[in-house]
């Protein structure tokens, strides 16, 4: 039956070829007439050739099968008890539980990656649409340290963090190529993120801040994000800080309008109309954000691009970009104050530095209870600052001696 069908198709195809042949001769004959000498191929001959080819292929297949059986029997005869010589008995399938499981996705075990900033911000800005977590989520605080190099006050911070490992994450941005010299037991061990060069007063400071935020956002459990420097100290113990930030209904970004040379005087008219002068704000660089605002900040490019082009000395992006952007779009989510205390009593480009001579118990107590009244969750409170700066490396031993009695850690 198969040969007959093939023959019918062959005859039909030959008929089509016959109809499509060109006209015979070039002597002006009728172009619709076909050369009567054309003879189609014989269907019987073609069917005979197809049968021969099919039988030849079958013989080759059978010959190969016989050879395979012979080789297999010989192999079994000479190597019956040594299969490991040719086949590995141990499975080498990849361990999916360590690299692609949900735990590694929720909390990356390694901070080293090769993403550039654009890729990192895109990855960090991913937000799940499901409101319920398919796991038990413990909210953590991301402590983000921005330093040129070492962290001289790290022993004080290690005492502050001790016993609370499930409730915090650490991220350190340093100069490229610098390696922190800490012990393997330190919470700062292997907590450096891929960093880039930072220049004071330039947009690179904002880049570093957003880079810290984006890396911290890769951990789904991080809920609050605090920016700190190598000269910052905690003035309360960890449980007090954790409770204060996790339960806060707002973020802590200082943002205010100042009609002065250091305020509106830094506004560049080229920012208009994207950023208008009445929207211009100033504030402390040392912020604290909840997760929602952190995602918003790293997702912005439009307003960041305006600041990168037009906010240059004597305009300082780190003092204006975050306060202005948050005031423009998310003012209701912000408390308009910082939780990091700084002494600006001296009129200078930089705040006061506290060393061994002026670090006392009275100083720390005055920071903890300095008489300032602020708002926390729509209620007034005297606890307005959780951290303080700037403290020099030589103040470390004094701070360690008083941490238990004054700061309760």
- Give the domain ranges of the chain: 115-406
Phi, psi of 252 (to 5 degrees): -125, 90
Measured in whole angstroms, how far is the alpha carbon of residue 281 from the centre of its chain? Answer: 28
Residues 3-32: tens digit of each pLDDT: 343 334 343 434 444 344 344 344 444 444
Averaged pLDDT score across all residues of the chain? 84
- Segment 173-194 shows an average pLDDT of 96
pLDDT at residue 2, as a whole number? 41
- Segment of 55-59, 131-135, 152-156 carrying the highest mean pLDDT: 152-156
- Is the per-residue pLDDT at 95 higher than 70? no
Return d(Cα 392, Cα 399) in angstroms, integer. 11
Among the residue ranges 87-96, 238-247, 326-335, 393-402, the one predicted with the least confidence is 87-96
pLDDT at residue 76, as a whole number? 46
pLDDT at residue 409, as a whole number? 97
pLDDT at residue 289, as a whole number? 98
- Is the per-residue pLDDT at 101 higher than 60? yes
pLDDT at residue 100, as a whole number? 57
- Is the per-residue pLDDT at 35 higher than 50? no
pLDDT at residue 190, as a whole number? 96
Reported confidence tier of residue 304, pLDDT bands at 50, 70, 90:
very high
Return d(Cα 95, Cα 80) in angstroms, integer. 32
- Segment 103-131 shows an average pLDDT of 89
Return d(Cα 107, Cα 222) in angstroms, integer. 9
- Segment 361-373 shows an average pLDDT of 93
Return d(Cα 1, Cα 326) in angstroms, integer. 81
Topology of the domain covering 115-406: Spore Coat Polysaccharide Biosynthesis Protein SpsA; Chain A (3.90.550)
Q: What tokens were used for 221?
A: 């459990």
Residue in this structure with the two tokens 């649409």, named with its chain if needed? 129
Of 249, 168, 173, the closest CA to residue 208 belongs to 173
**CB–CB of 330/296 below 8 Å?**
yes
- Is the per-residue pLDDT at 105 higher than 80? no
Residue 240: burial class (beta carbons within 10 Å; 0-12, 13-18, 19+): middle
- Is the per-residue pLDDT at 82 higher than 70? no
Q: What tokens were used for 406?
A: 């004054």
- Is the per-residue pLDDT at 347 higher than 60? yes
């Amino acid at each position: 039956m198969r040969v007959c069908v093939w023959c019918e198709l062959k005859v039909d195809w030959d008929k089509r070829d016959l109809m499509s042949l060109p006209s015979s001769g070039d002597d002006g004959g009728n172009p619709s007439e076909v050369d009567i000498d054309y003879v189609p191929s014989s269907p019987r001959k073609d069917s005979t050739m197809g049968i021969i080819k099919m039988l030849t292929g079958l013989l080759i297949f059978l010959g190969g099968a016989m050879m395979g059986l012979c080789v297999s029997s010989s192999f079994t005869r000479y190597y019956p008890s040594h299969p490991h010589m040719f086949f590995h008995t141990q499975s080498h399938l990849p361990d999916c539980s360590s690299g692609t499981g949900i735990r590694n996705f929720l909390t990356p075990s390694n901070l080293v990656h090769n993403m550039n900033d654009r890729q990192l911000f895109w990855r960090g800005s991913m937000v799940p649409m499901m409101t319920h977590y398919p796991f038990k989520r413990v909210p953590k605080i991301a402590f983000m340290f921005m330093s040129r190099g070492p962290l001289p006050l790290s022993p004080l911070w290690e005492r502050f963090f001790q016993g609370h490992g499930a409730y915090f994450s650490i991220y350190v941005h340093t100069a490229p190529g610098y390696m922190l010299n800490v012990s393997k037991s330190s919470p700062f061990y292997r907590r450096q993120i891929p960093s880039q060069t930072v220049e004071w007063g330039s947009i690179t400071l904002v880049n570093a801040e957003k880079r810290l935020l984006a890396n911290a956002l890769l951990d789904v459990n991080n809920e609050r994000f605090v920016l700190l420097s190598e000269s910052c100290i905690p003035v309360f113990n960890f449980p007090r800080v954790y409770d204060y930030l996790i339960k806060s209904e707002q973020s802590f970004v200082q943002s205010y309008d100042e009609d002065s040379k250091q305020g509106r005087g830094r506004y560049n008219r080229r920012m208009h109309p994207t950023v208008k002068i009445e929207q211009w704000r100033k504030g402390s660089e040392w912020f604290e954000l909840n997760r929602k605002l952190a995602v918003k900040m790293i997702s912005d490019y439009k307003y960041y691009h305006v600041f990168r082009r037009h906010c240059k000395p004597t305009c300082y992006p780190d003092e204006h970009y975050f306060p202005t952007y948050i005031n423009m779009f998310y003012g209701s989510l912000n408390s308009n104050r910082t939780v990091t205390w700084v002494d600006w009593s001296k009129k200078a480009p930089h705040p006061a530095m506290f060393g061994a001579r002026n670090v006392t118990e009275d100083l720390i107590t005055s920071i903890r209870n300095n008489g300032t009244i602020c708002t926390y969750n729509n209620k007034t409170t005297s606890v307005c600052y959780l951290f303080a700066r700037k403290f020099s490396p030589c103040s470390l031993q004094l701070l360690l001696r008083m941490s238990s009695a004054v700061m309760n850690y």
